Structure 1
Amino acid sequence: MTTAKRGQPAHVALAEQLGVAIVTGQRAPGSTLPGEIELAETFGVSRSVIRESLRMLSAKGLVESRPKAGTKIRDRQAWNMLDPQLLKWMFEGAPPLDFVHSLFQLRLIVEPAAAELAAAGRTARQLSRMGHALEEMGKHGLTSELGRAADQRFHALILEATGNELLVSLSASISAAVRWTTFFKYRSTRKPRDPMPQHQALFEAIANSNANAARDATAALVRQAQIDTEAVLAAEAHRAGARPVEDAAATR
């Protein structure tokens, strides 16, 4: 039976439950989900809830339904990997190392360039909002939901400050990547390096309109986040008795 979080519709809760099972490999690509009647009985919901859940998963590229063939889980290439909810689901477990590599590679391509543009074009109001987000991060800490939400806002504001509508359209995806990698790092017993000094250096570079320093500070921040995330993956793999992933702390 599926259990919805407070204020969460049943179809959303079920889509999350199935989505996590798919993206973490509990349900393999190419396999077929049980029929609507069986799913409804298994999770204790109506068939209309099942249909709405499957529509959500289909919109994210995770499944496809065909008459008489049922609902099949699609290959990873078809998944909307930048969907914020899908990113959240991916980090519910231990995401594959190659996925983490790809995610941080994307961040290293986008965010340093965005910070450079933000340093050149940010407004006083945008800078003030960045500063407030930074204060909230320091006040609540990244182990808390409030601190992580402030971290997410800080990075989203940098993209907003570029003035580039295509970069701004990536804001939800980049912010989700920041939020869920941070959540993943801090749920481990291994504590990552304090990122506040690097965030402060980035803020000061943008405040001083120093584009080169903003680019460099962002690259350093993202690389450290990657090292910390991969270190947690390695530690979890070791605890699970799995074959260790490559040394996450190695210099790239």
Structure 2
Amino acid sequence: MSATDDHPLSRHATQPTRAIHDRIAHDLAIAIVGGRYQPGEMLPGEERYSAEQGVSRTAYREAVRVLSAKGLVYSRTKSGTRINERLRWNILDLDVLAWMFEAGPTPEFLRDIFELRTVVEPAAAQFAALRRDGQDISRMGHALEEMRRFGLQTPEGRAADQNFHSLILTATRNEALITLATSVTAVVAWTTRFARDERKESRDPMPDHDAVFDAILRGDPEEARLKMLMLIGNASRDAGMSGPSAG
């Protein structure tokens, strides 16, 4: 293998077009959310980028379309592609969430997503306590068993944790809340992973989850709300915040 063949950019030539533009979108997104490009700044033009990185202009254009669809950039005819203001970013998009955590979440970003959880999940637990049925209870109980069996250090345990939180949203029987389930559970997964992998947090979260489940099982909406608030507050501290509403 030659030195040229071993260069990471040369490998673009042998990858499918889909993989190439996804990789370009990923690299540009990390640069954007990580602050290398600031709102209002221009991305490199397609001709320059394709020449410097050894990729096709078509793949670059496709990558820019991906970023535009997620609100990170906007394009104007004859004036190039610029970085959008942060308030226009689709923060709850699954890819954008992943990019934010990969780039290194800021304290402000962590605060924002824990405040989102504080707004949504305690109310969801309250409604779930009123509206859950036997199947909901069975599925939540199974998710807790899987969390306990595998632990949150493993992908399987984190998947069970996501499922538990998703099942609570489903049990609200509220379509508007249920549409948030994918984003909220992704936030749960990323913050848990951040606390475990980056901060080396080892606190056992099972008592908090068990307490929420017990309140839902007993049909006690106020207790379910309070126990979910406690769960989120502890998770926030695990992630290095003083609390879900820390300023």
When normalised by structure 2's length, the TM-score is 0.87
CA positional deviation for 1:251? 10
Match of 1:66?
A: 76
Match of 2:39?
A: 29
CA positional deviation for 1:22? 1.0
Match of 2:111?
A: 101
**Which blocks of at least 5 consecutive residues in structure 2 are unaligned?**
1-7
Q: CA offsets per residue over residues 75-110 of structure 1, 9 Å max, x none?
A: 111111221221111111332212221211111111
**Which blocks of at least 5 consecutive residues in structure 1 are unaligned?**
232-247
SS at match of 1:152: helix
Larger radius of gyration: 2
Indicate yes or no: 2:217 matched with 1:207: yes
Range that drifts further, 47-56 or 36-45: 36-45
- Structure 2 Cα separation of the partners of residues 10 and 175 of structure 1: 29
Query: In 2 relative to 1, CA 127–89 (structure 1 residues): closer, same or farther, beyond 3 Å?
Result: same
- Structure 2 Cα separation of the partners of residues 251 and 36 of structure 1: 42
Match of 2:235?
A: 225
Alignment RMSD (CA, Å): 2.4
Query: In 2 relative to 1, CA 167–144 (structure 1 residues): closer, same or farther, beyond 3 Å?
Result: same
Match of 2:174 among 144, 160, 164: 164
Size of the alignment, in residue pairs? 235
- Structure 2 Cα separation of the partners of residues 67 and 47 of structure 1: 16
Please say if residues 114 and 244 of structure 2, whose CA atoms lie closer than 8 Å, have aligned partners that are also in contact. no
Query: In 2 relative to 1, CA 249–157 (structure 1 residues): closer, same or farther, beyond 3 Å?
Result: closer
Query: In 2 relative to 1, CA 46–132 (structure 1 residues): closer, same or farther, beyond 3 Å?
Result: farther
Range that drifts further, 149-158 or 38-47: 38-47
Identical positions, percent: 46
Indicate yes or no: 2:120 matched with 1:133: no
CA positional deviation for 1:44? 3.4
When normalised by structure 1's length, the TM-score is 0.85
